[in-house]
A and B are shown apart, each in its own frame.
Chain A
Amino acid sequence: MLRFIGSRLLRAVITIIMVVTFAFVVLRLSGDPAQIIMGADAPPEAVDAFRTAWGLDQPVWVQYFHYFGAIFTGDLGRSMRDGRDAIVLVVERIPATLTLTLPALFIKLALGIPAGIYAALHRNSIIDRVLMIMAVAGFTVPSFVLGLLLVLVFAVQLGWLPSGGQESWRHAILPVVTLGIGGAAVLARFTRSAMLEVLGQPYIRTASAKGVSWRDVVWGHALPNAAIPTVTIVGFMVGSLIAGAVVVESVFSWPGVGRLLVVAVANRDLAVVQCVLLLVAATMVTANFTVDMLYGVLDPRLRSGARKAGAH
């Protein structure tokens, strides 16, 4: 058990390090932050001064070690635009993002999973086909297209809902719906496949042959097995609670973490970008880790480690 957890933790840490390193290198290679922040017509001495002040004139690997050293003391850098601590900037935006992603997650689960189960139970019926067409549409349409369409219909044409900003709870409706639909579509399709796979297994027939009612076969025998692969996708969705709304936040001008990231990248605000990425990597990795642990709970076959010595 310990070995299992240990290896997973090690992988988690390595993943985070790789993400941050990647961001670090790419940001510095993609254009001179000092120039971009100071503006094109700033005098060269001012740009140089800026560069020195922020340590950008030192070799990349030196900056890298400084950065990692600083992390261990809790200092994740400061924003180059307004000088505030990066971590503060990011954290104060988290509630705004969660206001969108949490309800969206709820929609994904509440719509997607039942739709997938229903479609699987009524395979090849009209409802199944309609649901699956809707699902395909839902996850192929890019979120910004969907978002803009919704704005066009509900904000511009009908005038029922506002098109952007964060003033009232009504401003949250369209972004939440946009986020939720895409995820629900994916989940519906996936749950359907998982259910169909399980329903085709011999033990389902055994349960029926035992006299178990179809309802109990589905709930007691099929679902617990279908949950195993579904948990993977749900875990991924939970992992992207913090940063999964980048595009939607931009479309709806919602002041969350995603929007902060977009602006910071455009400005080459290095510390902020790195801080957001660190946070995203950490959340994703934690979610994956939890899913891995959850597998052990859901699937007893994984608990005893190596399978019994089977045929040669």
Chain B
Amino acid sequence: MSNDAPLLRAEGLTRRYAMRRGLLGRSVEVRAVDGVSLTVERGRTLGLVGESGCGKSTTGRLVLGLEAPDDGHVAFDGSPMPPPGSEPWRRLRARMQMVFQDPLGALDRRLTIGTQVREPLDIHGLGDAGTRGEKVASLLSAVGLRPDQAARYPHELSGGQRQRAVLARALATDPALLVCDEPISALDVSIQAQVMNLLVELQERLGLGMLFISHDLRAVRQVSHRIAVMYLGRIVEEGEPDAVLQAPAHPYTQALVSAIPHPGRAGTRIVLQGDPPNPADRPTGCAFHPRCAAAVARCAVDSPSLKARDDGRLVACHVAHGEVDALKRAA
């Protein structure tokens, strides 16, 4: 366990599914994640942004080792991720946890909150019967719940309280990595703010590394130290949140930033034509080119790779790298 290695390093992750199209049963390959590499540093948050079908949830599962990638590998704390379900993999669960979108679905209806927060301690044999009770109480306080709420059932709590309970459970084993997949989308606006504050505070206090997956750019900016934008299974842009939001390099990121609704909009908004693409029907070349205002002939042929620009921004776009002569633009 070297402290130089990043907490989590994923290289070239690929995940393919076979899907049957139509009653005729022709099998089509869907690449949910296509060559994704990312790094999560200790105590820092990487925000993963994208719309439906981009593969961000699948990436989250691959990174945790819940699914084995078809290509590429994941290294946690310098060591490779064991295969899912194996004994070393199960022991590793104590060091990495996941928080999901639907807190009600993530909690067992029949068990009290206290029992569920305590369960990881029992599973991994941490502490003993006496200390576990205290740990549960301190965990509940840490997430802003009262210790007496340990006796409640999930349906007796509000959405925000449930998500806090899920967080308490996730933190029970003092994990080093927390993967949050749309943790606030199902909550009201004011509760979203509470949970975002809580996540930032917990990270500062506990030195948690976090992978924050969301479609909400504002939320991602609020909690992340670094942002990666995904489109159709690939990362198309990566960089510092403020830099990416103020001066997005990739045309898709530009559209995404421009689509954020806020009062007093200055300038016109970029409205993308067409629908988000079907992963089973991947366009040739750059996956974004059918909807891109800046697309040129090369974009339909050559798939751009994620490369660093001079200013350090990572972009996967021929145009953004200035590799295309402006005169050659397609009509």
Contacts and interface: CB of A to CB of B under 8 A. Distances in A.
Interface of A: 1, 3-4, 303-306, 308-312
Contacts of B21: 305-306
B22 A308 contact: no
A312 B278 contact: no
Contact of A305 (B23, B54, B278): B23
A306 to B, nearest CB: 5
B22 to A, nearest CB: 4
Contact of B23 (A1, A308, A312): A1
A306 B32 CA distance: 17
Nearest to B52: A311
13 contacts: A3-B23, A4-B23, A303-B23, A304-B23, A305-B21, A305-B22, A305-B25, A309-B30, A309-B53, A309-B281, A310-B53, A311-B53, A312-B33
Nearest to B276: A311
A5 to B, nearest CB: 10
A312 B58 contact: yes
B281 to A, nearest CB: 8
Interface in B14-28: 19-25
Nearest to B30: A309
Nearest to B23: A305
A309 B279 contact: yes
B19 A309 contact: yes
B280 interface: yes
A304 B280 contact: no
A312 B54 contact: yes
B280 A312 contact: no
Contacts of B53: 309-312
B55 interface: yes
A243 B180 CA distance: 57
Interface residues of B, number: 21
B317 to A, nearest CB: 22
Interface of B: 19-25, 30, 32-33, 52-58, 278-281
A312 B56 contact: yes
A15 B67 CA distance: 37
Contacts of A309: 19, 30, 53, 278-281
A1 B278 contact: no
Given A305-B22, A306-B22, 20 more contacts: A3-B23, A4-B23, A303-B23, A304-B22, A305-B21, A305-B23, A305-B24, A305-B25, A306-B20, A306-B21, A309-B53, A309-B278, A309-B279, A309-B280, A311-B52, A311-B57, A312-B32, A312-B52, A312-B56, A312-B57
A306 B24 CA distance: 10
A181 to B, nearest CB: 38
A303 B54 CA distance: 27
B19 A306 contact: yes
Nearest to A5: B23
A312 B56 CA distance: 8
B57 A1 contact: no
Nearest to B60: A312
A3 B30 CA distance: 22
B275 to A, nearest CB: 11
Contacts of A312: 32-33, 52-58, 279
B57 A308 contact: no
A3 B57 CA distance: 33
A304 to B, nearest CB: 6
A137 B278 CA distance: 52
A310 B32 CA distance: 11
B328 to A, nearest CB: 34
Nearest to A1: B23
Nearest to B281: A309
A309 B58 CA distance: 14
A259 to B, nearest CB: 44
Nearest to B27: A306
Nearest to A7: B25
B24 A1 contact: yes
A1 B22 CA distance: 9
Contacts of A303: 23
A304 B26 CA distance: 13
Contacts of A311: 52-53, 57
Contacts of B22: 304-306
Contacts of B278: 308-309
Nearest to B15: A312
A264 B331 CA distance: 84
A309 B19 CA distance: 8
